[in-house]
Structure 1
Amino acid sequence: MGFRDKYGDVAQLLFVKPDDALLRATVHFWDPTYRCFTFNEMDMILTIKEYSTLLHYNFRDPLRIFWKRNIDFRGPLGNLMELPVDMVKARLKDKNGPCISWFDIMDAMGKASGDKHLSLFAFSVYGLIVFPKAVGFVSVELADFLFQIEKGMNLAPAILAKTIISLNFIRRKGDGHFLECAQLLFIWMKSHFRCLYKSFRQLFFLRPGL
């Protein structure tokens, strides 16, 4: 089974460069009460189906969604990185929750091969792009998240929930930057808005699966 079959098109987010000005302008129209974008009399709602399609997860059972388990994530992370639990524990840093450095993951990737290498790569993408915690660090909780995805869970509801929480926080605070998966939100915006400038009209063409 290839990378795309397991994880969808999440790796394509690495090629997306969000326009910060466009994101800030669009976030201004977010209504935290109704959880939608409001443009005069027109409302636009982020949906699970749209996010699933953009990530090529429309082939998964929409009822099989990710759920956070109350377990010690150091064991799954040690299994993923092929390191003893004690060594994993020694490398963890507190970044508003236990996190592992990207450099430690990259080192493990250099020693891994086959499916293990792809799993570590997916773990990095989810941690650095989809669910960013701190610059250069990945939350250890995503190790269990990754295993559930490999079993066919749909990640779109979890991403959408984090997106809505971040949008609500920004609007109620009055300022701040969008902290969740800005790449995916940017793609969603471009798929809904018609722009007359050629540089913004380019569609999000998916590259061949890894």
Structure 2
Amino acid sequence: MERGFLDELEDNAAVRIWSETTQQEKCDSLAEGYISELWDFTRISVTQNSLQELKEILDQWNEEVRQLFHSNYGDLPYLLYMKVDKHLFRALAQFWNPAYSCFTLGKVDLVPTVEEYMALLWCAKIQVDKVYSRAINPPTFLKKLMNIIGISEQWVTTRIKQKRDNKCISWRNLKDVVLKHLDMKKRVDVFALSIYGLVIFPKALGHVNEAVTDLFDRLDKGFTPVLAILAETFRSLNACRRAGEGRFIGCAQLLLAWFHSHFWKVDKVSYRVFSGSYFLLKEVVATPMRDDISMEKWIAILQNLQEEDVE
């Protein structure tokens, strides 16, 4: 098998150049010399689920359980510790261009790529060439939950709720499984499902909805969730920008981690790498970041970015 992109040692600049070249070849990038102007202000909400209980459970796990989780689901737990800077996020959202599905920051055109998100969500089991798509006749929500949780039909049936147009199950019920299930592998699986539902696809606050279980049910077969994550990120940003308001229901933690990864330099020299053996998300979380910058200041910074400012 040929070595994939993540098996090669590539720095951030190489990833960005690859992304921009691909956009140009596909005629998706902005016209040469285009400089953006800030559109009408978008009032975007970044309301998040409380993740304290998830962090408390993770802190109680011993090294053996942590390794079991990591071997199956990679670096997901680091998302629990990624602080969402609402000022930065709201400022960044103002520069999202729905026409091109990218951020136009001053003279810089940036968009998250599959390779970058794969590096952030590093997981040995995920195969970049196995793309998730919703099955034509998927199992029912009940059947999928029974398979993932490993508990009786009666228990699951009584805990399924209807939230607007979606069926879901509450974190409170899933928490009981994570704490009490006799099978440790099932505890790990349900914990991972909860991260996907509460952090990566936080559509219904405090709940995991049916669409998340459909994706999650395919992860053990090596399917990558990255395209679905990016699609939801773009869809939510587009909806908010076009409406001028709204709640972002993509993964704010991942988007901000991606953003920060493009602005790490030491003496103007790039030193971060995207590779299969480098845990980028872990280092993003561990890096101290200022949280006292106002949204207005962030907007001014982003509006005046030059190419040399970005890795």
User: TM-score, normalization: structure 1?
Assistant: 0.87
1:53 aligned residue (102, 115, 119) = 119
Task: Find out whether 1:205 has 2:205 as its counterpart.
Answer: no
Letter in 2 for 1:79: N
1:87 aligned residue (125, 140, 155) = 155
2:204 aligned residue (117, 125, 134) = 134
Instruction: List per-residue Cα deviations over 1:38-65 (Å, max 9, x = no partner).
Output: 0233210111110111111487432202
CA distance in 2, matches of 1:61, 1:176: 33
Equivalent in the alignment of 2:10: none
Which structure has the highest strand share of the two? Answer: 2
Distance change >3 Å, CA 177–CA 144, structure 1 → 2: closer
180-189 or 82-91, which deviates more: 82-91
- Counterparts of 1:3-152 in structure 2 under 5 Å? 3-57=69-123, 60-69=126-135, 70-71=137-138, 72-96=140-164, 97-112=166-181, 113-152=183-222
CA contact (8 A) 1:52 1:58 kept: no
Letter in 1 for 2:176: D
Instruction: List per-residue Cα deviations over 1:75-108 (Å, max 9, x = no partner).
Output: 1202322332243222111123000011111111
Q: Secondary structure at the match of 2:127?
A: coil
Aligned residues: 201
CA contact (8 A) 2:126 2:219 kept: no
Q: Secondary structure at the match of 1:100?
A: strand
User: TM-score, normalization: structure 2?
Assistant: 0.60
CA distance in 2, matches of 1:141, 1:176: 21
CA distance in 1, matches of 2:237, 2:205: 20
Q: Secondary structure at the match of 1:62?
A: strand
CA distance in 2, matches of 1:81, 1:154: 21
Higher gyration radius (CA): 2
CA contact (8 A) 2:71 2:124 kept: no
Q: Secondary structure at the match of 2:130?
A: coil
CA distance in 2, matches of 1:132, 1:22: 19
For residue 141 of structure 1, report the CA deviation from its aligned partner: 3.4
Letter in 1 for 2:215: F
Q: Which runs of 5+ in 2 are unaligned?
A: 1-66, 266-279, 286-311
For residue 164 of structure 1, report the CA deviation from its aligned partner: 0.4
Q: Secondary structure at the match of 2:218?
A: helix
For residue 29 of structure 1, report the CA deviation from its aligned partner: 0.4
CA contact (8 A) 2:203 2:209 kept: yes
CA contact (8 A) 1:10 1:125 kept: yes
Letter in 1 for 2:83: K
Distance change >3 Å, CA 60–CA 103, structure 1 → 2: closer
CA distance in 2, matches of 1:190, 1:155: 21
CA contact (8 A) 1:57 1:154 kept: no
Q: Secondary structure at the match of 1:141?
A: helix
CA distance in 2, matches of 1:60, 1:184: 17
Equivalent in the alignment of 1:198: none
Q: Which runs of 5+ in 1 are unaligned?
A: 196-202
CA contact (8 A) 2:178 2:190 kept: yes
CA distance in 1, matches of 2:115, 2:194: 24
